[in-house]
Amino acid sequence: MRHEQKILESHYTQGKPFVRAKIVVVNPETLRQITIQKDFWIDTGFDGGIHVAHFHKNEITMIGIALWSGTIGIAGGARATAHRCLAYLQKIEDHEFPLPGIEAELILHGSDRHGLLGLDILKHWIVEFDGPNQFFKVASGFAQAKK
């Protein structure tokens, strides 16, 4: 048996499941923080957490956060360099998560104006895609133990 609590239901935008989300990066030493609010594409082909364009790097480093270098596998099997840090997903559409939010890896790479929410975020939810009707549902859920 499965219990679900609805987080959001929405139609696709331009043929893709987009959501508006609020991401916060906090410097644990100084407690200074920055907020990134933008549209994110729910991407089941991305195994990371949250992906945003590289230009956000300046905002993040301004609060004294050091970004860590690394690689990212991109479409076609190629690899690119990327920067990353820890971030919190605090809000998705009108649904707010308990503070400090969902911990996730934030990857800064590329220049796409929209972000990506990958499998490392989606693992927290039940996500259903209704392709023919261009509709998707996100719910928090848990399986009840069998008696």
Partner 1 sequence: MVLAVLPTEVTILREKEFTTERSLLPVAAIEQENYELLTHQRLGPDSSIDTRGIFYLGDSPLQLKEGFGKIEPAGFLFNYPWLPPNAIKLLNKAKKGALAEKELITLMEMLAERASAHFQLGAGKFVALTFRGRVVEVSDTRVGLLKRLQGRKYPEQIFVWRIGFNAFSGRL
- Which positions touch partner 1 (CB under 8 A)? 27-30, 43, 45-49, 64-66, 68-75, 79-82, 84-86, 103-105, 107, 118, 120
Cβ nearer to partner 1, comparing 1 with 75: 75
DSSP state, 109?
-
Distance of closest approach, residue 35 Cβ to partner 1, in angstroms: 16
Cβ nearer to partner 1, comparing 9 with 39: 39
Cβ nearer to partner 1, comparing 23 with 85: 85
Q: How far is CA 139 from CA 38, 53, 95, 112, 113, in A?
A: 20, 27, 11, 27, 26
Distance of closest approach, residue 92 Cβ to partner 1, in angstroms: 18
Backbone angles phi, psi at 114, to 5 degrees: -100, 160
